[in-house]
Amino acid sequence: MLFIPVLLFLVSCQEKELPSAPPRLVVEGWIENGGHPMVTVTRTMNVVIGEELDAGDIVHNIIRRAKVTVSDGVQTWQLEGGIDTDVFPPYRYSTDAFTGEVGKTYTLRVEYQDYVVTGEATIPEPVPIDRVYVKEVVDGKGTLACAFTDPAASGNYYKVFTKTKGKDGDYIPTAFGMVADEDLSNPEAEIFIFNNMRVMQHYARPNIEEGDVVSVKLRTLTQEGYRMWDAHERRVTGTSFSLRPHDTDEVTNLTGGLGYWVGYGASEPVTVKVE
């Protein structure tokens, strides 16, 4: 996926134009073990609080001619941009020249006109899912539970991603489906899933439907990646990095721009039908 939701119930129900600011480059990307790097590049946009933004305006701000490279410290690969209808905005940079490896650190560099954005991401050890089950279905809305065993003294951070058959082209993050192992009372942990963060959809309500066939993936993160995601979800719920108020610039782990570049230790997905 990409997977930052871009709809725009922005902080308030009252229409209010945010202060104008010079455009900045927004980079949203990740790499997981056994997977290829995925990067989307856009510009920031000035928006009106409480006013929905047309999808065409977002597409207009895609950057299609950036130079995007990833290095593991030994080799450097240039990513190619192309149309990808599995995500929104429907364009991202990738390469099949290599796949991510656990324990490796990857440096991202994005160059476009006078912009240079850089970041580093390390892929942590993945933790397998023990099981995924339907916790309850109420009024046609389902809640799932992702159960796993937190390794002793791991210092791990976790985030759940899902892909619903017929609705999602790629894995997308669940709303607030995160946990740090220091917050777990015992090694046998569960993360509850009731809402997916789909692009152009406000997600402050349950949206997992009875009858959905949902694949669940558990991803481990570094502490830096966890803090970035946690701050983003808490402070700018319902917006993308490119559409958020300008007073939250610290919600990024990049230098020279906004957004994120993170490494994921990804489990094998588990699929369940909501019934």
| First-to-last C-alpha distance (Å) of the chain | 25
pLDDT at position 249 is 47
Structure tokens at 192: 């509850």
pLDDT at position 70 is 98
| CATH numbers and ranges of domains, the chain | 16-124+224-265 (no CATH), 129-221+267-273 (2.60.40)
Residues of the chain with pLDDT under 50: 1-16, 18, 238-249
Number of H helices, E strands in the chain: 2, 17
pLDDT at position 21 is 64
pLDDT at position 15 is 43
pLDDT at position 13 is 32
pLDDT at position 143 is 94
**211 φ/ψ angles, rounded to the nearest 5 degrees:** 100, -15
pLDDT at position 246 is 42
Stated pTM of the model: 0.83
Q: Where are the alpha helices (DSSP H) in the chain?
A: 55-60, 223-235
Tens of pLDDT, residues 108-142 = 999 999 999 999 999 999 999 999 999 999 999 99
